[in-house]
A and B are shown apart, each in its own frame.
Chain A
């Protein structure tokens, strides 16, 4: 009886377990293996010849006499990516909070409409919407030409292919991912608590800082993760809006599997990124451990 129920339990979880193994764990293991192999001449890898070369390449270059020389090129791409993703997270947090707060204050009927407006961009492919930003930002584009016709500017804005263009694209693309979780936590907020705070001599700012923000914190943290992690890994926004000058980790990885034909290096870069992201998640998990129940 006991034995059969145990078998039954394994049978029940097996579809999910198989799915996770085949589509998640297996490719990850394959990538891990690949990052320790030698690159094939025309892409792919040389099976059986193990080398830490891919990880070394991240930090070092080999000079003509085969000595390792410290090389910061890839590190600077990493740091630029973190900077762009970090600023994106900060700016989306700054803009999304008032938006989410405003929506949460509306009547339920209005809320539904406003949330629909927030999600409407998802109905169009992000790639297409990023192309639309080229039309807006390029010289002779909508922003440039209207600034000229208003007489504000008489030189081209030269916004395209700069880190600023990439930054604008990133903030635009990830803003909804910040609004949604913050809205979810504010929607559950008991607004009578705000009256209680007012009643206890807290002004608007103190009420915001001591009551609203602490109670919305889980949503804000979730939003930060939802924005920061994918922003770190994007590749087509910097490619379309930043050109070759504003590479991010995503572009670098994509190149290794494409034009550079260095699959092991691409795999190693992916794992380096994964390690950093996991570290952030771990910090979050430790910091907010067991505090989830507070939002109820």
Chain B
């Protein structure tokens, strides 16, 4: 990270809305650095403060405490129109009285770019978002996906140093959203602009991001690449929010955990003996078998989901899911009520931070 130039440095930002008893702390001591040309995602459920953070970068809100700088320039006191940052809004916020071309040209005209240059950029942008020929249309005459692409073109036309995207895909249907995810990633690579993307959709975050910041109640929970976040979740919250996970709780002993039903789970850890430890295991990292060493479990349900089969097991009075690929034929050997062995490789077990 240190080798890359930092596009955005967010230093100890706090944000409080309202005052007195009704005050809401939207952000609490958030510090993070976003690298140049990075596709950075703020991920979390609604109300976690991710949109507030984005609005602070755009300049629509002023932080209660802390500072934000952009390529070394402090942003305090700068109005949104004074910041080299553009936003793609959740609602797109296209100007309804202007044509597609006028919408895209708006930011350039406000910066007093020469007319010919504006025309050229508008044409380039329309080509980039594959809407050539739609110049004269009004936003009301476009589909949701087309409006989304106009909003994107309108923001990108200004060649901002940073592009902010506020849940920009959430209004689209699933198929279009998938297409736009790839499209956005392609545009980010083509333009080399730093993207800061806000979403509550973990799959979207994993697909597009270089790095993800998972947020919870106005605080950062974990920052990392999609692989890091998925494979090494730090807390129960992150593990639960990203993908499917099984949780087990046991009492720490040397080289393993004693589960509530006295079974032994082997794992290396550094917790003091006798303490309660939460662990997470991804469903696809565990296996089931009959004639090996493993944990005793009972098959409660077998669900076929196309490429995979998900087997729901009961172990230590908890539900444990195992996801198996169907092409190996392994799933065929289990049926409901079977007593089987659950094999969890020690390197698939993630020790979670104790909940505060």
Contact = CB atoms under 8 A, between A and B. Distances in A.
Interface of A: 190, 192-193, 195-203, 206, 210-211, 214-215, 293-296
B131 to A, nearest CB: 18
The 8 closest A-B pairs by CB, nearest first: A200-B107, A196-B93, A198-B80, A201-B110, A192-B93, A201-B81, A202-B110, A199-B87
Contacts, number: 63
B89 A200 contact: no
A202 B81 contact: yes
Given A198-B80, A206-B110, A190 B93 contact: yes
B97 A215 contact: yes
Contacts of B79: 198, 203
A195 B60 contact: yes
Interface residues of B, number: 25
Contacts of A210: 106
Given A192-B89, A192-B91, A200 B110 contact: yes
A201 B111 contact: yes
B106 A202 contact: yes
Which among B58, B80, B91, B154 has the highest number of chain A CB atoms within 10 Å? B80
A294 B158 contact: no
Interface in B60-77: 60
B95 interface: yes
B156 to A, nearest CB: 12
Nearest to A195: B60
Given A200-B106, A202-B81, 11 more contacts: A190-B91, A196-B95, A198-B79, A198-B81, A199-B85, A200-B154, A201-B81, A203-B81, A211-B95, A294-B96, A296-B96
Contacts of B93: 190, 192-193, 195-196
A203 B110 CA distance: 8
B24 interface: no
A280 B108 CA distance: 37
19 contacts: A190-B91, A192-B91, A192-B93, A193-B95, A195-B93, A196-B89, A196-B94, A197-B95, A197-B106, A198-B59, A198-B60, A199-B81, A199-B155, A200-B158, A201-B111, A201-B158, A203-B79, A206-B110, A211-B95
Contacts of A215: 96-97
Contacts of A214: 97
B80 A296 contact: no
A196 B95 CA distance: 9
Contacts of B80: 195, 198-199
Nearest to A294: B97
Nearest to B110: A201
B86 interface: yes
Nearest to A196: B93
Contacts of B86: 199-200
B154 to A, nearest CB: 7
